[in-house]
């Protein structure tokens, strides 16, 4: 005989089983749709299946994935000691030559991992050449930077420190020397890397900051929706998701981070700068790869927390989210969206705004 509590658990288990099965079958359906060139017919009012899981939710579960608790890296296992050290390094202005900048200066965790400027200001007071993307959920991306020149957040963590415009440290040896003079750092490095004879090293600095950034995951109510909670989104937000999928935004902005997994030319249908009114034309990935095919190609940014991370695009040329949506539809899909369609998509995108881990926002150098 089952008690009511057990019955409730059984029903919930069956809901999740159904959803997992539907995710798998939907993924196959989406693949078939892409092969035959048809568009999926979606409607937020189509039908409801067992447990209140709506048809749009089923489709979305085959295109997107919920955020994990952390972004693991087998080559750099996350430990509490590494995270504590990485957090301190992330906020430390001594990693810049003049002491004006820390990682948090351009990737402020109190403002969703960005500084909301078109170009961040470096240690010498000069602006950078590209917009600083959010560090939140960045560890889930396949590469780092707009041109993908870093393979992961560990490699990325060490690059701005040496960059002459950003933090302007002249050598890794000088960074290590500064850290070795601090007794607190010596203890933190030893605790984080107990088997290393010379624990205070630039390589370990990269690993520690990387480990900290791998904990900067921001689940939102969209993750609740993907996990089976059909009423996590409002009717308006579901309509926005429906339009987002139908429009073709998922061509690039899908997966767990809704982006960050591929490169794409900005301006497939015309010059991007004609739409963004950019002050300067950026050649994109070609500056690194020297491959002609990479002209005006950039890493597709994640749309997680996009409501809070403007201004948008690689040059921060557009500050309004609705305008950015219209530009992307026109430049990448050759579609002109109505004001209502843009508003609906924006309503959906705002469901991607998550919660930054509270402890991560506490600057260890401030009381």
Residues 6+ positions from 130 with CB-CB distance below 8 Å: 119, 146, 282, 314, 315
Q: Please pick, among 154, 166, 206, 237, the residue that the annotation labels catalytic.
A: 166
DSSP 327-367: HHHHHHH-----HHHHHHHHHHHGGG-----TGGGS-TT--
10 Å CB burial of residue 80 (0-12, 13-18, 19+) is: exposed
Whole-angstrom Cα distance, residue 282 to residue 219?
Answer: 33
Residue 267 φ/ψ region, left for φ over 0, alpha for ψ in the -120 to 50 degree band, beta for the rest:
left
Structure tokens belonging to residue 169: 């440290």
Give the angle 198-199-201 at the CA atoms, nearest 5°.
85
Known catalytic residue at 166: yes
Whole-angstrom Cα distance, residue 278 to residue 162?
Answer: 28
Which residue numbers are catalytic?
A: 166
């Amino acid at each position: 005989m089952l008690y009511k509590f057990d019955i409730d658990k059984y029903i919930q288990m069956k809901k999740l089983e159904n959803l997992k099965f539907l995710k798998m079958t939907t993924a196959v359906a989406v693949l078939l749709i892409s092969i035959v060139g048809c568009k999926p017919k979606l409607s937020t009012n189509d039908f409801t299946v067992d447990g209140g899981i709506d048809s749009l939710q089923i489709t979305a579960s085959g295109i997107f994935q919920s955020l994990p608790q952390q972004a693991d890296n087998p080559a750099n296992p996350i430990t509490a000691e590494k995270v504590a050290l990485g957090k301190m390094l992330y906020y430390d202005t001594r990693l810049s030559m003049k002491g004006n900048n820390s990682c948090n200066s351009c990737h402020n965790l109190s403002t969703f991992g960005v500084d909301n400027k078109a170009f961040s200001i470096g240690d010498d007071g000069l602006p950078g050449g590209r917009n600083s993307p959010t560090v939140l959920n960045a560890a889930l991306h396949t590469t780092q930077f707009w041109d993908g020149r870093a393979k992961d957040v560990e490699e990325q963590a060490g690059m701005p420190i040496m960059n002459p415009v950003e933090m302007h440290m002249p050598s890794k040896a000088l960074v290590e020397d500064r850290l070795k003079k601090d007794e607190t750092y010596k203890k933190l490095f030893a605790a984080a890397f107990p088997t290393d004879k010379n624990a205070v090293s630039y390589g370990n600095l990269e690993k520690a900051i990387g480990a900290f950034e791998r904990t900067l995951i921001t689940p939102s109510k969209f993750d609740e929706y993907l996990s089976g909670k059909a009423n996590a989104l409002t009717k308006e937000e579901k309509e926005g998701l429906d339009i987002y999928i139908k429009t073709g935004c998922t061509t690039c902005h899908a997966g767990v981070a809704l982006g960050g997994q591929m490169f794409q030319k900005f301006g497939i249908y015309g010059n991007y700068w004609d739409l963004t009114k950019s002050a300067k034309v950026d050649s994109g990935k070609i500056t690194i790869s020297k491959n002609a095919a990479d002209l005006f190609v950039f890493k597709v940014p994640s749309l997680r927390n996009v409501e809070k991370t403007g201004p948008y695009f690689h040059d921060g040329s557009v500050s309004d989210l609705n305008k950015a949506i219209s530009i992307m539809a026109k430049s990448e899909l050759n579609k002109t969206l109505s004001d209502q369609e843009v508003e609906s998509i924006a309503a959906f995108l705002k469901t991607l705004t998550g919660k930054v881990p509270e402890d991560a926002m506490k600057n260890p150098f401030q009381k």
